[in-house]
Amino acid sequence: MVTEPNQPLVTRLIAERAEAHRKYNEALTALDRAIQSSPEWPSSPEPYDEQKLPAINDAWTIVPQGGPARPAGWRRHIANAAWQLVAPVFDRQMAFNAAVVEHLNRNARSHRDANQAIAAALPALREGFEGLVRFESLLIQFLQQITPLADARAREMQDAIDELRHVADVAQRAAVMAKREVERVAMPAPRSNVESAPAISSAVVSGGAERTDAFKYLGFEDRFRGSEQEIRARLFDYVPYFAGAADVLDVGCGRGEFLDLLKGAGVTARGLDLNPEMVEVCRGRGLDAAVGDALGLLKSLPDESLGGLITVQVIEHLDPAYLSEFLQVAYYKLRPGSRMVLETINPACWVAFFESYIRDLTHVRPIHPETLQYMLHASGFSPVEIVYRAPIAEDARLQRVTPRPEHFQDAVVDPLTELVSAFNRNMDRLNGRLFTFQDYAAVARTGGRSA
């Protein structure tokens, strides 16, 4: 297996990015919880009570200047003497009254100014605090937008890393392939042009140009067909067709996903592929595989020597004449009651044809399910079941129309209903033709023929 370049560095960078995201989200959550809310603001204070102040200012003088009026004559001498006795008391009372009045007048002005200042300050404080709360909320919203932005940038960087990784992977495979070709040229020529595995002795080896470019197609498989885990999951459904069988042949075994599944199920199997890089991957995993041509190998085998045969995404690479002969020869090489499974792209599905079939330059001709079924029947297989696989997701199909009640009015109910029904029928028809199943498999049985 080829190790991805700089995998520890990439793993470390991804882990560091995940840790940075975690810390950022924790800090953002704490900040979000710290957002203040506007309190209940008090009303402006009542104005200072100055209702009695004018009366107090008028009444604080209890004795006129110089004392009270005194009578004339001898009574005046008595009044003056009496005044001299009580005048200090009235003077102190007057001084106290003057101080109180002055204090009240001075505090009235202060309270008046304070009330006016508070009445003016409260709206300004309320507006300022509410502005601060709005700013905190907008700050949180801004910080929340950083994560999608960073994720978008991270996806761009990840795409660039994946592209560099793919280029490096292809370059590394090219180097390994070149080294292998140099070693092959440097070695003495073999007695024949047959490269064989212990279980497959007559597989025809492809030529130099095909071997030199084999690593490119392996990279193509890795990039567009899917990872090994995805392919294993897709192929797992085929394992029960070969339960209890032996000597199963996987034509176009690729990286050996199905061979590995059969091995895990206790089914003996061997693989064949034209791509030497694919075969090297299989052998590196301890699987029985060889480089060779399918028809050439089948012709070299004894009749009824195979207990099963499977080809996954292979027959669309074959010329019609080659495919016809391949099916006929396979019929004779399979034991009675054995199964042959042929999976290929469903050309009746628009998405499969334009997104998968034409992407691969090595595809020769798409095969309609009914055509393949007929060819298998004509070769002697019966029964032949067509199993459709990989349905298009519902949200990727053309959507039907569901009008809302307000769209219906008494005058137009019937025409609108008819229009919607016609539109939906057409959508169903198009979905049935263009957006159905991306792959199908023809599952054929050899029947109980005699040897």
- Give the angle 436-356-400 at the CA atoms, nearest 5°: 30
Q: What is the rounded average pLDDT of the residues 252-270?
A: 94
Least confident among 117-121, 154-158, 252-256, 326-330: 154-158
Edge-first strand listing for the sheet containing 437-445? 289-291, 269-273, 248-251, 306-312, 334-345, 437-445, 384-391
Question: What are phi and psi for residue 32, nearest 5 degrees?
Answer: -65, -40
Share of the chain above pLDDT 90, in %: 27
Q: What is the rounded average pLDDT of the residues 76-99?
A: 79
User: Could you tell me the domains of the chain?
Assistant: 7-177 (no CATH), 208-445 (3.40.50.150)
Residue 18's pLDDT is: 80
SS (H, E, C) 298-312: HHHCCCCCEEEEEEE
Burial of 404 (0-12, 13-18, 19+ CB in 10 A): exposed
Task: Tell me how far apart the alpha carbons of residues 421 and 427 are, in angstroms, rounded to a whole number.
Answer: 10
Residue 199's pLDDT is: 39
CB 440 within 8 A of CB 344: yes
Q: What is the rounded average pLDDT of the residues 102-119?
A: 82
Least confident among 263-272, 353-362, 439-448: 353-362
Q: Dump pLDDT digits (tens) for 167-221.
A: 555 555 555 555 555 656 665 544 433 333 333 433 333 333 344 454 444 444 5
Least confident among 100-104, 256-260, 359-363, 375-379: 359-363
Task: Tell me how far apart the alpha carbons of residues 220 and 356 are, in angstroms, rounded to a whole number.
Answer: 12
Tokens representing 266 are 């206790």
Residue 414's pLDDT is: 61
State which of 79-93, 164-178, 218-232 shows the largest mean pLDDT: 79-93
CA 303 from chain center: how many Å? 51
Residue 371's pLDDT is: 93
Least confident among 5-19, 122-136, 249-263, 431-445: 5-19
User: In Å, what is the CA distance from 323 to each residue of 145, 276, 358, 365?
Assistant: 57, 22, 19, 11
Residue 192's pLDDT is: 36
Task: Give the contacts of 234 (CB within 8 A, at least 6 positions apart).
Answer: 226, 389, 390
Q: How confident is the model at residue 262 (pLDDT cuts 50, 70, 90)?
A: very high
CB 343 within 8 A of CB 313: yes
